[in-house]
């Protein structure tokens, strides 16, 4: 089973830039999408998927903003409940179950406000806590849980090209990194770091200059596994060579027995 997360930065734009070709060539089993920026019917119209795919979306109240989704080659057994209304309004979380496997697609907020004033940091931290509580409740049900998506935080200095310059900027502030530490302390496993403790790869590059070509980026997209799910991970990867968005796909290869 190949399970992948991708912040597509607008599904319609990503389709124009090769999303369907990527989907055909890499043949993922489950795809967790973030920043869809479309209503479900608009996303489906852009994707034009075959009948072999099943889809679950959560869109924001504001048109063209945020939005998450899950594409899967098998029908989910259950669409799991979301978060509190303040987060549901922004379309940042959706989760589904396949047997004993639960997969969440999450688009964590940025801390920057409209004027890059850090005014959204409290909202971001509250989302971290709410998503962790919700997914921990699924763990208590005996499910093997993955949270995939754009966490909008680089965890350690190795996870961004310029840590010293960004220590007071949203995405690498101490309180944001501590919120991610809380997940790790709860037993969540950063699957990429579990396999590649010293590898320097990024999943997002700012859209200015030639930062992606020069690999001046951040690793802010993750596939976190619950303690019960982690033993089924066979590999973890970042597809840095995939264009189509300012983010690239990240994910895991799983033992199919994880659903049983």
pLDDT, one tens digit per residue, over 23-35 is 999 999 999 999 9
> Mapped to the 3 state alphabet, what secondary structure does 195-251 carry?
HCCCCCCCCECCCCCCCCCCCCCECCEEEEECCCCHHHEEEEEECCCCCCCCECCEE
State the number of CA atoms in the 13 A half-sphere of 61 facing the CB: 6
- Residue 214, pLDDT > 80, answer yes
CA distance 134 to 147: 11
Of 150, 159, 190, 221, catalytic = 150
Q: Alpha helix locations (H) across 80-146?
A: 85-88, 121-140
**What pLDDT shows up at residue 113?**
87
The CATH number assigned to the domain with range 2-259 reads 3.60.10.10
Average pLDDT over all residues of the chain: 97
- The pLDDT value recorded for residue 229 is 98
Domain definitions of the chain by residue range: 2-259
pTM for the model stands at 0.97
**Structure confidence at residue 115 (pLDDT):** 80
Residue 45 known to be catalytic:
no
């Amino acid at each position: 089973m190949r399970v992948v997360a991708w912040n597509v930065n607008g599904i319609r734009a990503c389709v124009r830039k090769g999303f369907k070709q990527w989907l055909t060539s890499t043949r993922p089993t489950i795809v967790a999408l973030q920043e869809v920026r479309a209503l479900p019917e608009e996303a489906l119209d852009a994707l034009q998927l075959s009948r072999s795919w099943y889809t679950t979306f959560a869109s924001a109240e504001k048109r063209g903003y945020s939005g998450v989704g899950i594409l899967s080659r098998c029908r989910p057994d259950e669409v799991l409940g979301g978060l509190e209304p303040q987060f549901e309004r922004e379309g940042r979380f959706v989760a589904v179950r396949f047997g004993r496997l639960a997969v969440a697609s999450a688009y964590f907020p940025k801390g920057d406000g409209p004027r890059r004033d850090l005014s959204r940091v409290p909202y971001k931290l509250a989302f971290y806590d709410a998503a962790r509580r919700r997914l921990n409740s699924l763990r208590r049900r005996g499910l093997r849980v993955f949270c995939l998506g754009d966490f909008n935080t680089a965890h350690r200095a190795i996870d961004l090209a310029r840590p010293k310059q960004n220590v007071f900027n949203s995405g690498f502030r101490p309180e944001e990194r501590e919120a991610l530490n809380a997940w790790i302390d709860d037993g969540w496993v950063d699957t990429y770091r579990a396999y590649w403790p010293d590898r320097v790869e990024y999943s997002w590059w700012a859209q200015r200059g030639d930062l992606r070509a020069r690999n001046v980026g951040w690793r802010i997209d993750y596939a976190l596994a619950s303690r019960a799910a982690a033993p089924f991970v066979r590999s973890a990867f970042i597809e840095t060579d995939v264009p189509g968005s300012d983010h690239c796909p990240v994910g895991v290869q799983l033992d199919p027995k994880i659903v049983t």
